[in-house]
């Protein structure tokens, strides 16, 4: 949360404040809720960027090490869209 707040700074910008609030909520959530939030965000980003016509690639990190919840989340994201599914 602190890193995101440091990286994304724009005092008075409501959009930035919303993103910082999202990160706080995400960090405090249990794995099933985190998965739902992350998959929803992933879907919105993929859908929005795909419309622009640029080639897409993805990079996942399990920053706290190998964990079942992280890989379950990655699997759900890849089920929605993965580079090998490009049309």
Q: pLDDT value at position 72?
A: 92
Q: Check residue 85 and give its pLDDT.
A: 75
pLDDT at 39: 95
Residues 6+ apart with CB under 8 A from 10: 16
Global pTM value: 0.79
> What pLDDT digit, counting tens, does each position of 22-80 carry?
989 999 999 899 999 999 999 998 998 888 888 888 888 887 788 898 899 999 999 99
pLDDT for res 34: 92
The Cα–Cα gap between 39 and 11 comes to 28
- Given a cut of 70, whether residue 87 has pLDDT beyond it is no
Structure confidence at residue 86 (pLDDT): 63
Question: How confident is residue 6, by pLDDT bands cut at 50, 70 and 90?
Answer: confident
């Amino acid at each position: 949360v602190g890193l995101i707040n440091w990286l994304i700074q724009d005092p008075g910008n409501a959009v930035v404040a919303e993103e910082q609030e999202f990160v706080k909520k995400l960090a405090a959530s249990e794995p099933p809720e985190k998965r739902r939030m992350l998959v929803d965000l992933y879907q919105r980003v993929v859908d929005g960027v795909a419309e622009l016509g640029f080639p897409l690639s993805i990079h996942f990190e399990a920053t706290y090490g190998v964990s079942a919840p992280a890989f379950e989340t990655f699997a759900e994201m890849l089920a929605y869209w993965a580079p090998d599914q490009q049309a």
